[in-house]
Amino acid sequence: MSERLQPGDTAPAFTLPDADGNEVSLADHKGRKVIVYFYPAALTPGCTKQACDFTDNLDVLASAGYDVIGVSPDKPEKLAKFREKENLKVTLVGDPDTAVIEAYGAYGEKKNYGKTYVGVIRSTIVVDEEGKVERALYNVKATGHVAKVIKDLGV
């Protein structure tokens, strides 16, 4: 289990492969705000809904100075299929060994259909221009979450 981040914490640095195998680093976004969201698996209903919601609102977020990066334990090949199938515009990166997911506190025990297991906890971390955590939201719902984030950020 990993420690959850709190506002004011320094966001853990990362460099992960995107759907095309290119490296994406948090440092590449310095000077802009970044919404880093963690989801369990590409090509699943809830994760698709969330990724489509972020894609649909990407222009609104970008014009307010926010970049969006989705992180899952998937390999680049699966992310590419996900992007193509759903016509996604958000940057998707894979963290197969879950080191970054754990560093952000988005990995741990969760319940699904009455069973308890360990996995990716659907989470959204908003990082400011200086690389500090502005908001840390854990156990978020896939449906309606993006609208709530936009409202909370005053975008």
In tens, the pLDDT along 56-87 reads 999 999 999 999 999 999 999 999 999 999 99
The question of whether 52 is a catalytic residue gets the answer no
31: which residues sit within 8 A by CB, 6+ positions away? 129
Coil/strand/helix, residue 96: coil
DSSP state for residue 95 in the 8-state scheme = -
pLDDT at 117: 86
3-state secondary structure of 132: strand
Q: How many CB atoms lie under 10 A from the CB of residue 114? A: 5
Q: Looking at the predicted structure, is the pLDDT value of residue 130 above 90? A: yes
Tell me what pLDDT residue 134 has. 96
Mean pLDDT estimate for the chain: 94
Residue 7 has pLDDT above 60, yes or no: yes
Q: What is the mean pLDDT of residues 6-13?
A: 97
Mean pLDDT of 98-115: 91
The backbone torsions φ and ψ at residue 70, rounded to the nearest 5 degrees and listed phi first, read -100, 130
Q: Which amino acid is at 136?
A: A
Q: Where are the beta strands (DSSP E) in the chain?
A: 15-17, 23-25, 33-38, 66-72, 91-94, 107-112, 115-120, 123-127, 133-138
pLDDT of residue 71: 98
Per-residue pLDDT tens digits for 12-50: 999 999 999 999 999 999 899 999 999 999 999 989 999
pLDDT at 1: 52
Label residue 2 by pLDDT band (50, 70, 90): low
Strands 66-72 and 33-38: parallel
What is residue 23's predicted lDDT score, i.e. its pLDDT? Answer: 97
Residue 22 token pair = 């290119």
Q: Which of 5, 34, 36, 47 is catalytic?
A: 47
User: What does pTM read for this prediction?
Assistant: 0.95
